[in-house]
Chain A
Amino acid sequence: MKVLGLSSHFHDSAAALVIDGRPIAASQEERFSRRKGDSSLPIRAASFCLERGGIEATDLDAVVFYEKPFRKFYRIVSTSLANAPGGFRAFKGALHSWFESKLWIKSEIAKALGVPLDRVRFSDHHLSHAAAAFLTHDVPSAATLVVDGVGEWTSTTLGRLSRAEGAMVYDVFGSVDFPHSLGLLYSALTAFLGFRVNEGEYKVMGLAPYGQPRFVPELRQLIRHPDDGLFELDLRYFSHDRSVTRGWSAELERLLGPPRNPGRPLRLGREGTEFQRCADIAASLQVVLEEELLRLFERARELTGESVLCYAGGVALNCVANGKLAREGPFSRLLIHPASGDAGGALGAALAYCASHGIYRPAGAFSPFLGLDVSSAEFAGLTFDDSGSDSGSDSFQRTQSEDEFVEHVAQALADDEVVGWMQGGAEWGPRALGARSILARPDSPGQQRRLNRMVKHREDFRPFAPVVLDEWAEELFEGLCPGRELERHMLATVTTRKAWRGRLAAVTHVDGSARVQCLRPCDGPLLHRVLARFHALTGIPALVNTSFNDAGEPIVNSLDDGLRSARRCGLGLLAAYPHLVRPAKDPVPVPAESATLEPSA
């Protein structure tokens, strides 16, 4: 059975191809279109998936869209009725975009891909999320908890998925409907703190360790707990159901003070500064979110009786909460899909469709390297040849063996060079897992500031993550999750052991935490070898691993993207086996989102 899953028209559109239950290819559209958060119909990503699968669109048994648009439209109409005449602007905007394309998505997909209308199918938003987590792990049944902004109607769904002989079984135990939503609570406060919604949430998470949770009592007032053991928002403080541009009300400003002016730089500051107030709100939000999630975890355990939880939705990308919940929560195993946001819904929808026909992914670890491959052929099409000559002022070298390549890269890293790393298929999901990464030495003085300012052109407070040899993880970090399942895909934070904090200064946050990736040889054999060689040269079995992109840019996909980004970021070396490129500085200064002008964007 050949199934293409699609997510689009919201944010982070994506396509994923599943053949006989096995994920073959998956990618976000933004990787191809080079527009961050691209929400358009993922035609380029779908074409890539079909090409990788060696099939035509007409060979597909089904194209499954990750949610049910009519149900969503019903919710929007209901919201308008409940709020009229407030929310006119939201209604007007919604009407335009829904009548322009969203209501006709079935025919739009059929036409764009050239498939018959009856092959276009629709999953449920939260089923797509839950299935992505459940069907990419080898468990017979599990509790599922999906927490995000909102799907069709629901913002939180508590259920259970089981593999049965004929078809997968899906039971729903409880749900919370829009406008009550932990995801939208987080988004409202993200905007309140002056960051862009759907993009700035992880900045809020990164800001939290700088603060003290002194606003916890105030933030607890935003949430009520009805008898069903779930939650409700106190809507006096919110306006996300009435406005598409402002998620909070004047009441929230009375509670927390004025929102941060997003036009002003947010610089690391002392007590009493705007930075500190924002950090304190972020820290308080993190505490309250963790409390609510723990409550939901306990409810899920109680209702389902399962010992394994598949946790999904945009909120599941909060790796600080994930680490705590995995360690302190009621489940013995916590499973999260690496693309747990909406993009991952494309794969979840396709897997769920197969599973509903009794076709499951063959047993084995899920590999997230489902994106575009780096190929030597692509090098041939670029602006230099294999002779080692310098054309276009990039200096180019082709190594003769893996050993030579590994030695060069490890030595460059040991010499404190910042290296762009492109290897194999691109990662599925928002984290750089060693296929499209920027690597650097973690112990250089001022490395975090240097990388933020000079390379990634972003705010000083943003932390970096380490990639560590899996066999050394316990030595360097404490609080690792059981089996290091979450750390494998950089989905949880742990604590850097005090003895190592000096040598891991660039990847240890102010509170001693680190969002570590534990690298196993099977997940990146070449990077594992580089890391091992770097360890031999420096005594440090870890590197800085940050996504290979400039501010405001999607993670690089092709070699061409990598070269352009490497020039803009001023990287010392671009490594894509067997090639090594020393990029020239970009001759045309392309304006990046500047940290000084626009720290919040």
Chain B
Amino acid sequence: MTILVNDEPFELEREMTVAEFISEELETEGEFVILVNDTVIPAEKRASVVLKEGDSVEAVRFVSGG
């Protein structure tokens, strides 16, 4: 199935939770904030939210800035 990750199409072989998606698919370390369809998914809910076809996932992070 296809989802959007930061507006780019992303293929997933199977349905998975946000927690699985982060640990299996995202090749980056450290903390970030995850939004699914514009809603922030708190860390404690990542294991229970399942990604579906067409979902839009955003991964954002605090960076330096004035």
A, B: real partners = no
Which A residues contact B (CB, under 8 angstroms)?
none
Which B residues contact A (CB, under 8 angstroms)?
none
